């Protein structure tokens, strides 16, 4: 065969092939460059977009803390979450290093993702045949904990990647690490290193030593699996592994690790779950902070606030246990109780129902017919308009004409005295005829005005039935009204909040006392003395004296659906309501439970307080009267009692039916002289 010779045709073909190859190569690299430029541009635009787009509000919940009347921590808004946020500079260097060694040693050298970590985890997982090692960086974990659920879907992973980039763009590495250390879960209800240090070692985080730091850093990988209270040997093994990693990454020396491994870990006693049972009161705090003070509900619940309250934990416990006791095995029967300090308006106990888990409806704020427990408002107005304890009205079936027609009230079981009775008797017997007659004498508008100044805000219509408590009001309002009477006529607006601080101690809300005098001390005192007769043997609340014997004043109220007792001692005013939520008729036996609850609670609530009488204010005059005639008593009157009057309204005439025989004028007794001296002051 001869040598191959290149012909002109072959040369032309070769040349065409070369040119085509060059063009293809050019187009390839051109397109590659364009793609890279477009990718870079898109990445740049994406980064700028993510940089400009604000992060969604994180779910970094720090449950707000609740303090009692003495400033003692008694609970928090969410008992399941316990946090104590700390600044990065307060966290020991060893704890930071141990966390980085355990979770993300290249944290300060990547931008949210660790390629080497991903490769290392992939190899380990392939060798094991299942997932044994994760590749998430601290930033990724923070993004997941702050914003996402822990489900394993592609959409969640994409969102996590985007949020990871955003975190890296918006925050410095130190800020990300600080958030992470305050967010990560350490088990046993502890979120963040601040709380974890308290739970496991009963120390402030800055007091932790190297051994404790490594011990703590190992827990988040499996809070239950590595729980020292459940699996101490695992927790110690994990600690030793963390110390070895710290040596490997030149964070500590081998000698330091050896000493830390040999050091005994003194764990704190497992804390008993602290549960603040006052669930209804807690809801009231949120409602008040939001509606009255304008705070955001999520901030109130999870903003790490310090809410200083007026609650007395002992009284709250007594209230809850008393209702639980008397309503046991009572089916759907419900109760509410609110107890306040009349001299400050501070709420000491609040129970909105017998079982919060079954119903979160706070019946302290439910409008119900108060019945006769509303009458003290009427009688205060009457005293201010010329009535006195001896004012008599005939107790018999009576019809009252008014603009709307004829009103025919009746007494309980249609029992009437059939004779004129005094205001004192009318209150003790809860006589309805007396009440309606009084309303017509003083004017309906007078009672409405008195109700408003005592703190009743619910709608009230000017009809005769107002005298008998036909218009619904709340236990909260009734407690306010009775507390005002107990405080000598000064209305201290009820409150459960003293002040609210943010996590850094700045005061956001501070309750400013705003007492208002709404009646004279004399009128309030005379009404108090009249209401004390309700607990006498012939009074409607005589059952209370089976358990509570201290000086007290109050009034029962019973309707077809409600049972009430509102009353007070000199230092504590309490309202109790019982009934059904859905308008079920309330038997009288169940209505009387309000009295037993009130008496049993007040007995416990006042047990540690000295017993006090109601102090007599200026403007009150005490005289002995003949209870049969209503005149000033003489030594010859058989039925007498010491009665209190607003000065100027007391009887002036001596009893003519029981005067001494002519020529027999006995010397005044020592007691009579003392009473005369007192009245002359």
CATH number (domain holding residue 238): 1.10.3810.10
Integer CA distances (angstroms), 571 to 185, 485, 604, in order: 46, 11, 14
Q: Which residues contact 64 (CB under 8 A, 6 or more apart)?
A: 76, 77, 300, 301, 302, 303, 304, 305, 306, 307
pLDDT at 285 over 80: yes
Long-range contacts of 536-545 (CB under 8 A, 24+ apart): 536/428, 538/428, 538/429, 539/428, 539/429, 540/372, 540/428, 540/429, 540/430, 541/565, 541/567, 541/595, 541/598, 543/592, 543/595, 543/596, 543/599, 544/595, 544/596, 544/598, 544/599, 545/599
Domain boundary among 234, 262, 290: 262
Checking if the pLDDT of 130 tops 50, the result is: no
Percent of all residues in the chain with a pLDDT value above 70, rounded to a whole number: 84
d(CA 562, CA 66): 33
Has residue 285 been placed in a domain? no
Q: Whose CA is closest to 556, among 527, 593, 524?
A: 593
Residue 147 lies in a domain: yes
Give bridge partners of residue 620 from the DSSP assignment.
646
pLDDT grade for 237, boundaries at 50, 70 and 90: very high
Are 178 and 246 contained in the same domain?
yes
Strand partners, 368: 473
Where are the extended beta strands (E) located within 203-267?
A: none
CB atoms within 10 A of CB 422: 20
pLDDT tier at 26 (50, 70, 90 boundaries)?
confident
What are 114's two structure tokens?
A: 């660790």
Cβ atoms within 10 Å of 437's Cβ, excluding its own: 19
Q: Are residues 41 and 152 in the same domain?
A: no
Q: Are 113 and 252 members of one domain?
A: yes
Mean pLDDT of the chain: 87
Q: What is the pLDDT of residue 172?
A: 87
Write down the pLDDT at residue 191: 84
**Domain membership flag for residue 118:** yes
Mean pLDDT of 616-633: 93
pLDDT digit string (tens) for 513-537?
A: 899 999 999 999 999 999 999 999 8
Residues of the domain holding 624 = 620-680
For residue 282, give Cα distances in angstroms to 305, 308, 494. Answer: 14, 12, 15
Confidence of residue 1 (pLDDT cuts 50, 70, 90): very low
Query: Are residue 149 and residue 247 in the same domain, yes or no?
Result: yes
Contact criterion met (CB below 8 Å) for 622 and 640: no
At 134, the pLDDT band (50, 70, 90 cuts) reads low
- Is 147 in the same domain as 252? yes
State whether 93 and 14 are in the same domain: no
CB count, 10 Å around CB of 72?
Answer: 8
Is this prediction's pTM over 0.75?
no
Domain end, chosen from 233, 262, 291, is at 262
- What secondary structure letter does DSSP report for 349? E
What is the C-alpha separation between 340 and 455, in angstroms, rounded?
14
Q: Could you tell me if residue 238 is inside a domain?
A: yes
Do residues 382 and 444 make contact, with C-beta atoms less than 8 angstroms apart?
Answer: no
Q: How many CB atoms lie within 10 A of CB 123?
A: 11
Assigned domain for 100 exists: yes
- Give the bridge partners for 554, in sequence order: 567
CB atoms closer than 10 angstroms to residue 589: 8
The pLDDT assigned to 50 comes to 45
Q: Is 132 a member of any domain?
A: yes
Looking at the 3D structure of the chain, how many domains does it have? 3
Residues 164 and 32 in one domain: no
pLDDT, greater one: 327 or 152: 327
Q: Residue 134: how many CA atoms within 13 Å on its side-chain side?
A: 12
Considering the domain architecture, whether residues 36 and 170 belong to the same structural domain is answered as: no
Q: Are residues 157 and 20 in the same domain?
A: no
Q: Hey, is 83 helix, strand or coil?
A: strand
Among 266-275, 328-337, 368-377, 669-678, where is mean pLDDT lowest?
Answer: 669-678
Q: 666 pLDDT exceeds 60?
A: no
CB 443 within 8 A of CB 456: no
**Could you say which of 262, 280, 312 is where a domain stops?**
262
Query: pLDDT tens for residues 44-56?
Result: 555 555 455 555 5
Distance CA 380, CA 372 (A): 14
Look at the block and give the residue holding tokens 């100027």: 648
Neighbours of 463 (CB within 10 A): 15
DSSP secondary structure code for residue 356 in this structure: T
Spatial separation of the C-alpha atoms in residues 185 and 81, rounded to whole Å? 10
125 assigned to some structural domain: yes
Distance (Å, whole) CA 98 – CA 109: 17
Q: What's the rounded Cα separation, in Å, for the pair 209 and 186?
A: 18
Pair 139, 228 in one domain:
yes
Q: Are residues 157 and 14 in the same domain?
A: no
| Active-site residue list | 103, 372
- Listing DSSP states for 569-601 in one string gives -SS-EEEEEEE-TT-----HHHHTHHHHHHHHH
Contact 383, 402 (CB under 8 A): no
Residues 126 and 15 both lie in one domain? no
DSSP string for residues in 143-159: HHHHH------HHHHHH
Mean pLDDT calculated for residue range 374-383: 98
Inside any domain, residue 532: no
């Amino acid at each position: 065969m001869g040598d191959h010779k290149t012909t002109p045709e072959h040369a032309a073909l070769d040349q065409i092939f070369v040119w085509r190859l060059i063009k293809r190569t050019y187009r390839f690299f051109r397109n590659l460059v364009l793609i890279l430029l477009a990718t870079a541009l898109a990445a740049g635009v994406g980064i700028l977009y993510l940089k400009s787009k604000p992060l969604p509000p994180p779910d970094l919940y720090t449950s707000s803390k609740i303090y009692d009347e003495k400033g003692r921590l008694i609970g928090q808004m969410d008992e399941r979450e316990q946090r104590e946020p700390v600044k990065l500079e307060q966290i020991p260097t060893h704890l930071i290093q141990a966390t980085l060694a355990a979770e993300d040693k290249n944290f300060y050298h990547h931008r949210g993702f660790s390629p080497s970590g991903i490769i290392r985890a992939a190899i380990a997982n392939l060798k094991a045949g299942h997932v044994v090692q994760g590749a998430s960086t601290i930033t990724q974990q923070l993004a997941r904990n702050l914003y996402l659920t822990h489900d394993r879907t592609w959409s969640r992973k994409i969102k996590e990647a985007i949020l990871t980039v955003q975190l890296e763009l918006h925050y410095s590495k130190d800020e990300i690490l600080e958030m992470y250390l305050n967010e990560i879960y350490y088990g046993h209800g502890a979120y963040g290193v601040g709380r974890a240090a308290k739970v496991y070692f009963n120390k402030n985080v800055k007091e932790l030593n190297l051994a404790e730091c490594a011990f703590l850093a190992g827990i988040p990988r499996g809070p239950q699996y590595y729980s020292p209270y459940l699996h101490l040997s695992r927790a110690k093994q994990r600690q030793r592994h963390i110390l070895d990693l710290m040596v490997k990454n030149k964070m500590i020396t081998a000698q330091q690790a050896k000493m830390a491994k040999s050091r005994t870990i003194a764990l704190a006693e497992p804390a008993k779950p602290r549960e603040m049972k006052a669930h209804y009161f807690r809801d009231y705090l949120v409602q008040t902070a939001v509606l009255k003070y304008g705070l955001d509900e999520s901030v109130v619940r999870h903003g790490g606030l310090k809410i200083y309250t007026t609650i007395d934990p002992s009284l709250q416990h007594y209230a809850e246990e008393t209702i639980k006791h008397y309503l046991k095995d009572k089916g759907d029967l419900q109760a509410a109780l609110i107890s306040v300090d009349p001299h400050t308006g501070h709420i000491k106990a609040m129970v909105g129902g017998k079982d919060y888990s079954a119903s979160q409806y706070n019946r302290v704020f439910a409008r119900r017919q108060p019945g006769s427990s509303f009458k003290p408002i009427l009688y205060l107005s009457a005293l201010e308009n010329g009535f006195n304890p001896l004012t008599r009205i005939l107790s018999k079936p009576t019809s009252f004409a008014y603009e709307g027609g004829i009103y025919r009230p009746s007494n309980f079981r249609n029992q009437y005295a059939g004779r004129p009775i005094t205001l004192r008797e009318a209150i003790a017997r809860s006589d309805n005829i007396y009440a309606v007659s009084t309303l017509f004498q003083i004017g309906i508008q007078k009672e409405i005005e008195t109700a408003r100044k005592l703190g009743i805000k619910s709608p009230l219509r000017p009809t005769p039935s107002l005298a008998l408590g036909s218009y619904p009001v709340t236990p909260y309002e009734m407690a306010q009204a009775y507390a005002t009477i107990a405080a000598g006529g000064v209305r201290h607006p009820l409150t459960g909040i003293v002040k609210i601080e943010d996590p850094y101690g700045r005061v956001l809300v501070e309750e400013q006392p705003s007492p208002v005098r709404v009646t004279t001390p004399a009128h309030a005192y005379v009404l108090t003395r009249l209401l004390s007769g309700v607990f006498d043997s012939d009074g409607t609340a005589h059952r209370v004296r089976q358990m509570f014997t201290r000086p007290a004043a109050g009034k029962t109220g019973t309707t077809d659906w409600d049972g009430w007792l509102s009353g007070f001692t000199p230092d504590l005013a309490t309202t109790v309501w019982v009934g059904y939520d859905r308008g079920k008729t309330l038997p009288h036996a169940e209505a009387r439970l309000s009295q037993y609850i009130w008496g049993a609670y007040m007995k416990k609530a006042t047990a540690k307080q000295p017993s006090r009488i109601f102090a007599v204010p200026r403007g009150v005059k005490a005289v002995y009267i003949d209870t049969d005639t209503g005149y000033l008593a003489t030594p010859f009157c058989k039925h007498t009692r010491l009665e209190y009057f607003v000065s100027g309204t007391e009887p002036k005439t001596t009893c003519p039916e029981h005067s001494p025989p002519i020529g027999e004028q006995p010397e005044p007794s020592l007691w009579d002289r003392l009473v005369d001296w007192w009245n002359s002051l």
